[in-house]
Amino acid sequence: QRKWIAIGSLDKESKDKEVLIRGRVQTIRPVSKTITFLVLRQKGFTVQCVVTAAPELVSKQMVKYASSLNKESIVDVYGIVSPNEDIKAATQKVEVQVSKIYCVNRAIEKLPINFEDAIRSEAEIDAAALENKQLARVNRDTRLDYRVLDIRTPAKQGIFRIQCQVENIFRNFLISKGFVGIHTPKLIAGSSEGGSAVFKLDYKGQPACLAQSPQLHKQIAICGDFNRVFEVGHVFRAEDSYTHRHLCEFIGLDVEMEINEHYFEVIKIVDELFVAIFDGLNENCKKELEAVGKQFPFEPLKYLRETLLLTYQEGVEMLQEAGVEIGLEDDLNTEAEKKLGQIVLEKYGTEFYILHRYPLKVRPFYTMPCSDNSAYSNSFDVFIRGEEIISGAQRIHDPEFLKTRAEACGIDVGTISTYIDSFRYGAPPHGGFGVGLERVVMLFCALQNIRNSSLFPRDPQRLAP
Ligand code: ATP
Ligand code: AMO
């Protein structure tokens, strides 16, 4: 049985031990015919391996062979560990004096993106583009084309570990509050959110579409007495414009719950959940956040122990005071949302806040109007750094009113009849919300573009890899 050692565990304690390691060749530095330095990478750690021609080590041919390896190839190396505090080329302060080396799989010689370029900041690459420099070649599109190479960098590895952590805290927190995880169908008969952003398809002769959200089925589950549900699932939106924050397929974190008296019960869950998510990331992902920050510099998110809650009207008034031309019942456009984010940060010292009581006309058909003023609704959006990460609301639970609202919003009620019928068998008051996972990670780490927080992004122009 051969003893494999992780590169990350190699330290002074390993001195004089014989080790067997597997890694990717990150750099090759031939010094002479008798000595070559390789840096091997594994799980974000790197170690320098010295290939020296000597009677008790390797032959000259072996040194030549090591020098001829291609970067990013996978190799197995046997050798003896010796400490070296001065090493700058690798994370581990030891080097391995190689006695045997095998190439497990050789990467091609001319890689479309080099590791050294994949770790550069986007600002540096954009600047190169302005100056027409060769480096501009590795712009975001090229990196996404060769995502398999791009995601090998420490920052990208960090981003997707952070994403996994958000999902994990989301599940664990909700389960601890009595929610049950469900999975709803993604092939459905009609649009769940209204609007045109829906992928249509043929379902064995019946018109169908990819679910724009689990909205209808999570509500049916509540009518089916699940009481509190959540779902982590794929969401499809046929977005036709190309923005920094819209994908055609993203991961939705959805919640739906019965409420006793008020939609503030839902908002309380949002507040506690997100404080738990942010605390959890800051606590458990220090290494990952640091790695991300090296490639995408950002300031830690400022958030309060109890999330700031403002009415939509208060938000609009703050914008009006700042000179933005906007009416009380207008939707906030991207620019206004950003501006409000700045104002809120200056006034309340937080980059995470909730706006509630939106005008009814800017919300989907299933949203409950306010009982004191039907021009407004029991709904809310949640923002990080001035951009939306969540929409939520209390829902209409009266079937006739729901049908009227759907018709008024131009929905073909024939396609959602089983949904509306679910309310005819007795429906409790309820509410919920939907979170865009990629947006949470993008905004927590200020990544600037949602493609950076989607492993294999789908946007209006990209269907590969
Ligand atoms: P959601 O639609 O899920 O609520 P969103 O971030 O798309 O989330 P919207 O309320 O639809 O938010 O839109 C807010 C603003 O975002 C719009 O006023 C518009 O400025 C911008 N926007 C939304 N969708 C697009 C898009 N596909 N292309 C360009 N801009 C968009
Ligand atoms: P909404 O349409 O606002 O609400 O979507 C919820 C959240 O999903 C994210 N999101 C997106 N992320 C990436 N690309 C997109 N194209 C995109 N569109 C939306 C955002 C948004 O806040 N059914 C309701 C939720 C509910 O009321 O429960 C819904 O889908 O972060």
Residue of the CA atom closest to atom 12 of ligand 2: 436
Instruction: Report the C-alpha gap between 265 and 259 in whole angstroms.
Output: 7
Concatenated DSSP letters of 359-377? BGGGS-TTBPBPSS-TTBB
ipTM above 0.85, yes or no: yes
Q: What's the pLDDT score for residue 105?
A: 98
241 in contact with ligand 1, CB cutoff 6 A: yes
453 in contact with ligand 2, CB cutoff 6 A: no
Concatenated DSSP letters of 204-258? TTEEEEE-S-SHHHHHHHHHTT--EEEEEEEEE----S--SS--SEEEEEEEEEE
Ligand 2 atom closest to the CA of 435, numbered from 1: 7
Q: Cα torsion at 99, 61, 87, 105 (round to 10°)?
A: -80
Q: What's the pLDDT score for residue 68?
A: 97
Q: Cα torsion at 53, 57, 62, 68 (round to 10°)?
A: -80
Closest-CA residue to 98 (of 45, 44, 53): 53
Query: What domains lie within the chain, and their CATH numbers?
Result: 7-105 (2.40.50.140), 115-150 (no CATH), 154-453 (3.30.930.10)
Instruction: Report the C-alpha gap between 434 and 382 in whole angstroms.
Output: 10
CA 107 to centroid of ligand 2, rounded, Å? 40
Instruction: Report the C-alpha gap between 383 and 440 in whole angstroms.
Output: 9
CA 16 to centroid of ligand 2, rounded, Å? 56
333 in contact with ligand 1, CB cutoff 6 A: yes
Q: What one-letter code names the amino acid at 300?
A: P
Q: What's the pLDDT score for residue 194?
A: 80
Residue of the CA atom closest to atom 14 of ligand 1: 333
CA 441 to centroid of ligand 2, rounded, Å? 14
Burial of 55 (0-12, 13-18, 19+ CB in 10 A): exposed
Q: What's the pLDDT score for residue 292?
A: 98
Ligand 1 atom closest to the CA of 381, numbered from 1: 4
pLDDT in tens, 58-80: 999 999 999 999 999 999 999 99
Q: How far is CA 69 from CA 26, 46, 209, 288, in A?
A: 11, 17, 49, 30
Ligand 1 atom closest to the CA of 334, numbered from 1: 20
Instruction: Report the C-alpha gap between 343 and 319 in whole angstroms.
Output: 8
Of the bound ligands, which one is closest to the alpha carbon of residue 364?
2
Instruction: Report the C-alpha gap between 391 and 198 in whole angstroms.
Output: 18
Q: What's the pLDDT score for residue 320?
A: 97
Instruction: Report the C-alpha gap between 93 and 104 in whole angstroms.
Output: 25
387 in contact with ligand 1, CB cutoff 6 A: no
- Active-site residue 245, yes or no? yes
Of the bound ligands, which one is closest to the alpha carbon of residue 270?
2
Instruction: Report the C-alpha gap between 155 and 152 in whole angstroms.
Output: 9
- In this structure, what token pair is assigned to residue 170? 């989301």
Q: What's the pLDDT score for residue 270?
A: 98
Q: What's the pLDDT score for residue 356?
A: 98
- Active-site residue 321, yes or no? no
- Active-site residue 377, yes or no? no
Q: What's the pLDDT score for residue 2?
A: 76
Q: What's the pLDDT score for residue 386?
A: 98
Of the bound ligands, which one is closest to the alpha carbon of residue 379?
2
CA 136 to centroid of ligand 1, rounded, Å? 30
Q: What's the pLDDT score for residue 195?
A: 76
Concatenated DSSP letters of 399-464? HHHHHHHHHHTT--GGGGHHHHHHGGG----EEEEEEEHHHHHHHHTT-SSGGGG-SS--BTTB--
Q: What's the pLDDT score for residue 196?
A: 76
Q: What's the pLDDT score for residue 282?
A: 98
Question: Structure pTM?
Answer: 0.96
247 in contact with ligand 2, CB cutoff 6 A: yes
Of the bound ligands, which one is closest to the alpha carbon of residue 192?
2
- Residues facing residue 35 across a β-bridge: 32, 52
**Per-10-residue mean pLDDT, the chain, length 465:** 90 95 98 98 97 95 98 98 94 97 98 94 91 91 97 97 98 98 96 88 96 98 98 96 96 98 98 98 98 97 98 98 94 96 98 98 97 98 98 98 96 94 98 98 97 98 97
Ligand 1 atom closest to the CA of 245, numbered from 1: 6
